[in-house]
Structure 1
Amino acid sequence: MELRHLKTFKYVAEYLNFTKAAQQLNFTQPAVTAQIQTLEQELKQELFIRIGKKTYLTPEGGILKKYTDQLFSIVEKIESSLAELPNEYGIVSIAACESHCTNYFPYVISEFLKLYPKVQIKLYSCKRDEIIKGIESNKYDIGIISGELCRHEITNIVIAEDDMILVVSKDLYARYTEDQLLMKFPLIKYQADGYFESMMSKYLRQTNLSTHNLIEFGSLDGIKKAVLNNIGVGLGVSVCMKKEINNGDLVPIQVTENKVKVKTSIITLKEKENSVTIQSFNNIIQKNWNNIYALE
């Protein structure tokens, strides 16, 4: 069955008049009659019956009308969605922490622009509370936060769960025992509040680590660089250290058997769920997020 034949049937079934249907479709009446006859031959069913001067649907025609109405309702939604596709005036604003802006979004934005090269993108580096407030106030379209956010007006999608780990440089690991490393060198951790701080505290409570000699950095990359420069023992998340651990430059130290997982989520206002631009960007984030460090 061809869509154009079904469209012709839809109009004839609606008006129950071949002449009016032809006028609406800008066809000749013989052309409309020919398309209906073709459809009847394909289905091996009679769709209309004439009684006197009036045209009626047969029972088979009634069944086809039911499904044709559903079909063209979907077609209209497709056309409407395509009409909303990003154009040169489309803008997407994204807020994320500095580490995510630096390590993830160059790749994510590159992939998005391959599909939608005319969309303007604005990327903001913010702390978690700022991101949440910006999403709620409609300042940002998409936010990437640590943890989850359960609020009625916001959609939260968890895109990653990474283990919190303790690492040291290969040089220090070769020179000291693990007990000596934990006693002699400072603990280097992320300067954070809220969710991430609570996850670090949870991890530290399960260990005998001392926090009297403490260094805090404002970025996870800063922690990694400090550890690589033999400054101390670093507390971070596995995904950020994966490349250096695989290369042997960093060595994980197991101080607890209980894993603490740190979640990462996309947040958007629920009222923006039907925005094609925003949903397209979210889909690319979800598809690529967990593979980005592996691409480096």
Structure 2
Amino acid sequence: MSLIEVLLSSAVIVAVIQYFQGEKNNKLQYITEERAKWRKEIKEIISEIRIADFQTIEKCLTDLGKNLNAYGYCPDGRYENDKLDFLKDEHIWREMDIIQNAVNEHNMPNFEKSKKNLIHYLFLLLKFDWERSKQEIKGEKAIPISIVSFGMGVIVCVFSRFPLKSIQENLINIFIFIIAFSLPYILLWVIYGIERMQILKAKDWYSKMDKVTLSFILVGVELGAILILAWKWKNFEMIFLFVAIAVLLVPYLIISNQEMYRKYDVSVRKILERRN
């Protein structure tokens, strides 16, 4: 049996592809349906805010509040510009509070100005959510591609390093080899997981490049090890191609995710600066 036949007939790879494909389809369907409903509600609220007056704005703000991140609400109304957490919608809650104060004071100029700012914030929120949906879909596609590509690289590497007839005799050596070979790749996904968790825990995490730098170092270690150890092996080009695709997809996901959040941050700050 040739190496290519082994790869194509691998039940493990087929199972992995089918599993991730099923998971991706289920998640995409749920995300699409729920976010479509949310976007529709926000768009309807924007239309209502645009024509609202002192008497009708309260209902608009109440409906809007139900669709925002409740963790961004400050009961005492003390929102500080330089400490606003945009991912908790604090800037939107702040603008809603300013509108409410304008209503209480019957200050029409401030009322109209804040309505425009609020509408602009909501447009940015819709755009951000749309970009985030696309980013998640991108991740759903890239992650299984990366894992399967790396798995293919490992299989080619094993069969290039150990003759097919001696596989059973070298199971322990093969296991150790796979672990050592996969360690940088596993660490890449650990970094990616930490980066994802920081979305909910750390403010301005997207402005820090330490995870990106570390991920590229691990990419260099993985590809460098292949160049050092495997350049004389058969199918070296195939090994390098599979592994390069797998490892480079991880920092790509980290960078594109950070860039999406960074753009939202910059856009919101422009409105805040204009208001001040």
TM-score, normalised by the number of residues in structure 1? 0.25
The structure that is strand-richer by fraction is 1
TM-score, normalised by the number of residues in structure 2? 0.26
* Greater Cα radius of gyration, structure 1 or 2: 1
